[in-house]
Structure 1
Amino acid sequence: MRKLHLPDEHKHVFKEVLRSLCQTNACKFFRGRYHPKKRNVDVVTGTISIHPRGFGFVSLDDPSLYDKDVFIPRHLTENAVDGDRVEVEINPFSHSEKGPEGKVHTVVERGRTHLAGIVHEFSRDGTALAYVPLLGVEHQVSIKSPDEKLHVGERVILEVLQWGDDKKETKTCLSHKIGHISDPSKDVIAAVKEYGLKKEFPEPVKKEAALFGKSVKQSELKDRQDFRSWEIFTIDPTTAKDFDDALSLSKDKTGNYHLGVHIADVSHYVKSDSALEKQARMRCNSTYFPGVCIPMLPPSLSENLCSLKPNVNRLTASVLMTFDSNGSLLNYRIVKGVIKSKKRFTYREAKEVLDGRKKSPFAPTLKLMEELCLLLKKKRYERGSLEFSIPELRVIVDENGTPTGTEFIPYDITHQLVEEFMLKANEVVATHLSKEGLDLTYRVHEEPSEERMNEFVSLANAFGFHLKEAPSPGDLQKFFDEALQTPYGTYLAISYIRRMKLAIYSPANIGHYGLALTHYCHFTSPIRRYVDLVIHRLLFEKPISYSEIEAVAKECSEKERISEKAERNVTLLKKLRLLKQMVDEEPKKEFEVVVTKIRSFGIYFEVDHLMLEGFLHVSELDDDYYRYDERSGRLKGSYTGVAFFAGDRFTVISKEIDLIVLEAKWKFKKKRKK
């Protein structure tokens, strides 16, 4: 500063400027000197999402800087946690097809002031230590001595006093308790707190929803096409209450099919800048837990006035499509309508009708739907789309949230026909809006990287299949058609899906790899997805700016991931509760498992009937000394010659079930005889 020869009256001001620059990280004060921050690498800002394994991805404030999120290795996340706004230094030598890589330089703004955790243990001096799922097992969290006594297993909301990292504890104080881990009725409440979900609706939102009444008014039918005399019905899960979509189908004398996909007209009720709209955008989507739904819209709309219930007038946005006898689209119309659904089918009931096990006046239409569905599927396969007929495992819970069992929901023809018709409606709407020259929220999906595809090919071949390198979509579909006929098919399909890149919303249309479509969007579920509501507005109201579309796409993609994490963790907890019930009733109960992955240090497997992942360290295989054969990918016993390989089966017994960290430990029992 002396070399600048500043007048005395300016020196004070200059020092204040330097201090201000330090506060904004533009320079640093070190050893009595101010040093400008080095800018020989790109420095960007964005919001970080932390994976359960510790690494993270930063979604940039300015997405135009890079075409992918920035990957942050686990050891370079510093003390950033999920949802923090961070400043990241890009590693200029790390760019690959996976995208840029960097390290967290500074946490600009914390994404939260409170954490949800569970009291895990007490230190020697009596300080309560909590396990916070958001931070992981290795991150120690201490709780400042509260006025009320704490117990191991209590679920707590903690106010952060000082952030730490893997080497330094995070210091907190107790905000409030939300029950004990042994109480399943609090599972969803805990998840709501942990993931920052919104459960209750503010009074202004509920009052606004109540203004619409409980039924459609005659005045609301003006300028709408009247479909109330048409044979229209819904097909949904048994537990569903929010019926977004209804179907109609007929076939004329020339062999053409006339398909109607009728979607709840949510945009009629949820207007731009209303309290309802702001709340829906804050939530972005409904979140579905076992036995509980946290809706995007108040129940008076989501379960009543917008839901396409039978025998009542309901407002719709309808896509009317005509297909020739081969399933090729001839023409379409998109109109506002009013329907009166004739029937509420469950998937199970519709399947019984198709199988001839139950009589119904709608049987001919269901048969016709099956016919058109198969034509559309054939065309989808021909263009390179993949389909995985994976049964869904549903955890059944009672009114208290206690799991009572599981149920596999088959991906049968009734599920397939609904999906095919929704896919086609979404494709038609996306293509239509694109032709109109409008910016929109596309649903896009990049193709998997070469590295990830090679990993999957190796896995498939380890299970005894023959999948060639760089398989075409046709090769993959042929493989899955064969694999899904075996006990390993579901696991392989899930493994492939996990290796694929995530589908996201974007204003930039790069196509949808999984569906092999050039144009695709989400239009068919506006009751439970905000982005669908935006598409409805684009169809019937004024255009939306690119910047606004970009913001919506980013927000909805992020909230979708958060909901998926919350749903996955609560479902895992319910599975572990069910496992604990089984073990409590029969302590030595044996569980059959299938090997999913072999490593030099142990075996990864999946427990049958629960779709629960497990791991056995090689030291747990105490009947022999096992060595890993890298060439064959097997663990082989030195004395017995017994080998473990991907797809192999054996039995285990439960050694420990930890509901706090969501982990089950196992003991090897015996290998299944062939």
Structure 2
Amino acid sequence: MRSRRKKSGRSIKKPLNLSKTVLEYVRGKRYTPSTLSELSQQLNIPSAHTHIFKQTLDDLVEKGEIVLNQTKYRSPISNQLKTGTINVLPKGFGFVRVDKGADVFIPRPHLKGAVDGDTVEVEILAEASPKGPEGKVVAILKRSRTHLAGTILRKIKKHYIAYAPLLGVEKPVQVHSKLELEEGDRVICQVKTWKNKEGLVDAEVTRNIGNISDPSIDIQAAVEEFELPDGFTQEAIDEAKQYGKAVLIDPQRKDLTTWEIVTIDPDTAKDFDDAISLTKDPRGHFFLGVHIADVAHYVKPYSHLDKAAYLRCNSTYFPGTCIPMLPEELSNELCSLKPHVPRLTQSVFMEFTPQGDLVNYSIERSCIHSQKRFTYNEALEVLEHRKNSPHASLLHRMVELCGVLKKKRFERGSIDFSLPSSTILVDKKGVPQKIEKVEYDITHQMIEEFMLKANETVATHLSKKGLSLIYRIHEEPSLETFEDFYQFAKMLGFQLPNKPLRKDIQELFEQAKHSPHLSQLSISFIRSMKLAAYSTDNLGHYGLALEHYCHFTSPIRRYTDLMIQRLLFQELPKDFNLEAVATACSEKERVSFRAESSVTILKKLRFAATFYQEDPTRIYEAIVTKIKPFALFFEVPLFDLEGQVHVSNLGNDYFEYRPESMSFKGTRTGKLYQMGQKLSVRLEEVDFVLLQSAWALPDARKKKCNDS
């Protein structure tokens, strides 16, 4: 007896109708998840079309229009599952924000091939864990990109194997090219399929940027890899140019052109967002003026300039250059608070008592005429009496107010710490010439204090007016993640109570200021914190111990600051979605940070490579920054690079890891390696592709060990 297929009332007459029919059927209210065989029966697929049907289903899964969960196909819409954008970190795990404030942690094994920026569907596996909710990707609904940036590793028969940083070393890309390529070529590829028969990403080369050996293309490669907008439309440039080159003083603005106002910025800065004025009366009251470039005057909502700025959300800074948020006609000219020329500003005037209490403030549109462009170094020279200046008294008043505000902030519970930073100087060809340490001296501190106070004042002002705005938020850490920092601090010998308060953490960093452990302690503290972000929900700022805080003081380089400027003096269009702006700015900030970090590490490695080429046997001074059971980690100050040596390469001995003191001790020789210890290390190899360096201890047996 012949069996008959169960009829669903649908039949396939032409293979071309398959995709549409499948989607309509799977999205139907009565559909239940079905296997390939079950779907074939339900849709009356002729056996001759089975292979076409299977390929159609695979294509729909690849596009995210249907989901294959285990062996059953279903619609991607489900009440049991959550949808969001995945943020995949360099270490391989990721986070998906599915609801406001709820980030789902995705371990590496549960990514299911998702890459950074993909829209994914996740299944929640555990509601509570030290990292928050944990889940797995069950479907990739939308790919974030169709192109990949990669570096050619080798040729195999008719194709090439490339390394794409977005995918990591575990996911090589199979690349096809009509042009002959060489090892080290940095290429842009169009993805043909995210998983071919060999399980590899399959792609076609569309452009060869150049070879990894050429430092002049580092920025261009980063722009392609992180899909940063580069260049402006002619319409945006024309809009910027229509304002001309000169600024006319607006009689409706507060005229500050005769005031003693100065700017203090890094040596290489071109976009001067902020300027300062400060006087003091006989009572000891301080009158601080923070004057910010009025970018909102030039960049109108929905204009071509506005679209260009929103596409970027921020400027991205690389060694020797910058990808600006706005055309240089504005960023480096009309909006930049250059000395000796009139500029339109928004000014925050604040009156403080000698104890640092804010007793009065106003926010006004103004016009200034900066009298001096100080660099941080020049200002410091004046303060240390190494250089004369007619503005010396102003600078000394700034130092005085800075101390008062800093003390007040400390009393409030703000946690005061700073990470060491460096500046890489490059020549016109992108070759690094020098790495300079940036000292967080009093000139940096006073500008930071004034900007913090202006941001707080503006946020409080807008909030009290009942306006919706974009806050800069920093949520309180969970007890579980903070426990890691607590234990780390104890291992370094610092004393903390079982339930430390803000003042305990403040005292800890005060003690650590002159300790070799300050850098690692700061890094550990940051890792225990949640990331700062932008939000229309006022969740406060934990690090600054503030209820109201926003970004206002850098509108040339941050779109959020431009939005705050508009909220102060303009009425936004009703359809302007602040929440969408906050989300976009948070995401673009993260992308820019990763692009900047990638280029910075590469330049540091190039700098180290020049020393290696000159003398491969050279010995460098290093400081132990971290010890784990498997390796010793250290910083090489000359290059501002972190290196590591595996425990098996520490010397001709068996080294035992001692967790209570985070140290290694040789069982035979008694040789000790511990945090903060100075080391002599030798550079063994530099890998520009994987952004790694290999190091060895000169006295230990020779064996290369790569960085993590």
TM-score under structure 2 normalisation?
Answer: 0.89
- CA distance in structure 2 between the partners assigned to 1:521 and 1:546 by the alignment: 22
Question: For 1:133, which of 165, 176, 192 is the aligned residue?
Answer: 165
1:130-279 mapped onto 2 (5 Å cutoff): 130-144=162-176, 146-164=177-195, 168-218=199-249, 221-279=250-308
Partner secondary structure for residue 174 of structure 1? strand
The alpha-carbon deviation at position 403 of structure 1 amounts to: 0.5
Partner secondary structure for residue 592 of structure 2? helix
Question: Which residue number corresponds to residue 83 of structure 1?
Answer: 117
Amino acid at match of 1:558: E
1:669 aligns with 2:698: yes
The alpha-carbon deviation at position 24 of structure 1 amounts to: 9.7
The change in CA–CA distance for 1:31 and 1:229 in structure 2 (over 3 A counts) is: closer
Structure 1 stretch 525-534 or stretch 67-76: which is displaced more?
67-76
Structure 1 stretch 99-108 or stretch 550-559: which is displaced more?
99-108
The alpha-carbon deviation at position 79 of structure 1 amounts to: 1.1
* Post-superposition CA distance 1:364-399 (Å, at most 9, x none): 111111111100000000011112244421111111
1:488 aligns with 2:517: yes
1:430-445 mapped onto 2 (5 Å cutoff): 430-445=459-474
* Post-superposition CA distance 1:286-329 (Å, at most 9, x none): 00011111100000100000000001110001001111111110
Amino acid at match of 2:327: P
Q: Is the 8 A contact 2:124 2:135 kept in 1?
A: yes
Question: Which residue number corresponds to residue 491 of structure 2?
Answer: 462
- CA distance in structure 1 between the partners assigned to 2:27 and 2:345 by the alignment: 54
1:72 aligns with 2:106: yes
Amino acid at match of 1:620: N
Structure 1 stretch 433-442 or stretch 446-455: which is displaced more?
446-455
The change in CA–CA distance for 1:512 and 1:131 in structure 2 (over 3 A counts) is: same
- CA distance in structure 1 between the partners assigned to 2:8 and 2:573 by the alignment: 53
Partner secondary structure for residue 234 of structure 1? strand
The alpha-carbon deviation at position 86 of structure 1 amounts to: 1.3
The alpha-carbon deviation at position 453 of structure 1 amounts to: 2.1
Structure 1 stretch 612-621 or stretch 564-573: which is displaced more?
612-621
The alpha-carbon deviation at position 54 of structure 1 amounts to: 0.9
Structure 1 stretch 647-656 or stretch 439-448: which is displaced more?
647-656
- CA distance in structure 2 between the partners assigned to 1:542 and 1:381 by the alignment: 36
The change in CA–CA distance for 1:573 and 1:448 in structure 2 (over 3 A counts) is: same
Amino acid at match of 1:208: E
Question: Which residue number corresponds to residue 597 of structure 1?
Answer: 626
Amino acid at match of 1:88: V
Question: Which residue number corresponds to residue 406 of structure 1?
Answer: 435
The alpha-carbon deviation at position 89 of structure 1 amounts to: 1.6
Amino acid at match of 1:638: T
Question: For 2:133, which of 93, 100, 106 is the aligned residue?
Answer: 100
The alpha-carbon deviation at position 267 of structure 1 amounts to: 0.3
Partner secondary structure for residue 685 of structure 2? strand
The alpha-carbon deviation at position 5 of structure 1 amounts to: 8.3
Amino acid at match of 1:246: A
1:15-54 mapped onto 2 (5 Å cutoff): 19-22=23-26, 28-34=33-39, 37=74, 42-54=80-92
1:514 aligns with 2:547: no
Structure 1 stretch 298-307 or stretch 81-90: which is displaced more?
81-90
Amino acid at match of 2:136: K
- CA distance in structure 2 between the partners assigned to 1:377 and 1:177 by the alignment: 52
Question: For 1:59, which of 82, 97, 114 is the aligned residue?
Answer: 97
Structure 1 stretch 269-278 or stretch 541-550: which is displaced more?
541-550
- CA distance in structure 1 between the partners assigned to 2:668 and 2:547 by the alignment: 57
Q: Is the 8 A contact 1:140 1:166 kept in 2?
A: no
Amino acid at match of 1:212: Y
Partner secondary structure for residue 254 of structure 1? coil
Question: Which residue number corresponds to residue 319 of structure 1?
Answer: 348
- CA distance in structure 2 between the partners assigned to 1:535 and 1:365 by the alignment: 29
Question: For 1:568, which of 564, 576, 597 is the aligned residue?
Answer: 597
1:113 aligns with 2:146: yes
- CA distance in structure 2 between the partners assigned to 1:271 and 1:174 by the alignment: 40
* Post-superposition CA distance 1:221-280 (Å, at most 9, x none): 131110001101100000000000000010112221111000000000000010000110
Q: Is the 8 A contact 2:85 2:118 kept in 1?
A: yes
Amino acid at match of 2:341: V
- CA distance in structure 1 between the partners assigned to 2:432 and 2:7 by the alignment: 77
The change in CA–CA distance for 1:325 and 1:209 in structure 2 (over 3 A counts) is: same
Question: Which residue number corresponds to residue 427 of structure 1?
Answer: 456
- CA distance in structure 2 between the partners assigned to 1:232 and 1:295 by the alignment: 25
Structure 1 stretch 130-139 or stretch 491-500: which is displaced more?
491-500
Partner secondary structure for residue 32 of structure 1? helix
- CA distance in structure 2 between the partners assigned to 1:447 and 1:282 by the alignment: 30
The alpha-carbon deviation at position 543 of structure 1 amounts to: 4.8
Question: For 1:416, which of 445, 450, 458 is the aligned residue?
Answer: 445
* Post-superposition CA distance 1:71-91 (Å, at most 9, x none): 111111111111111122222
- CA distance in structure 2 between the partners assigned to 1:59 and 1:371 by the alignment: 44
Q: Is the 8 A contact 2:616 2:684 kept in 1?
A: no
- CA distance in structure 1 between the partners assigned to 2:497 and 2:198 by the alignment: 46
* Post-superposition CA distance 1:111-141 (Å, at most 9, x none): 1111111111233x35311111111011111
Partner secondary structure for residue 486 of structure 2? helix
- CA distance in structure 2 between the partners assigned to 1:36 and 1:148 by the alignment: 40
Q: Is the 8 A contact 1:538 1:544 kept in 2?
A: no
Partner secondary structure for residue 240 of structure 2? helix
Partner secondary structure for residue 522 of structure 1? coil
Partner secondary structure for residue 143 of structure 1? strand
* Post-superposition CA distance 1:195-214 (Å, at most 9, x none): 01012111111111111111
Partner secondary structure for residue 666 of structure 1? strand
The change in CA–CA distance for 1:465 and 1:669 in structure 2 (over 3 A counts) is: farther
Amino acid at match of 1:106: A
- CA distance in structure 1 between the partners assigned to 2:438 and 2:567 by the alignment: 35
The alpha-carbon deviation at position 18 of structure 1 amounts to: 5.2
- CA distance in structure 1 between the partners assigned to 2:169 and 2:573 by the alignment: 44
Amino acid at match of 2:513: L
The change in CA–CA distance for 1:622 and 1:347 in structure 2 (over 3 A counts) is: same
- CA distance in structure 1 between the partners assigned to 2:26 and 2:694 by the alignment: 49
The change in CA–CA distance for 1:257 and 1:168 in structure 2 (over 3 A counts) is: same
The change in CA–CA distance for 1:19 and 1:296 in structure 2 (over 3 A counts) is: closer
Amino acid at match of 2:696: K
Question: For 2:570, which of 523, 528, 541 is the aligned residue?
Answer: 541
Q: Is the 8 A contact 1:228 1:339 kept in 2?
A: yes
TM-score under structure 1 normalisation?
Answer: 0.93
Q: Is the 8 A contact 2:34 2:74 kept in 1?
A: no
The alpha-carbon deviation at position 503 of structure 1 amounts to: 0.5
The change in CA–CA distance for 1:347 and 1:252 in structure 2 (over 3 A counts) is: same
Number of aligned residue pairs: give it.
Answer: 662
Structure 1 stretch 409-418 or stretch 30-39: which is displaced more?
30-39
Question: Which residue number corresponds to residue 60 of structure 2?
Answer: none
Amino acid at match of 1:89: E
- CA distance in structure 2 between the partners assigned to 1:580 and 1:24 by the alignment: 61
Q: Is the 8 A contact 1:127 1:143 kept in 2?
A: yes
- CA distance in structure 1 between the partners assigned to 2:578 and 2:102 by the alignment: 18
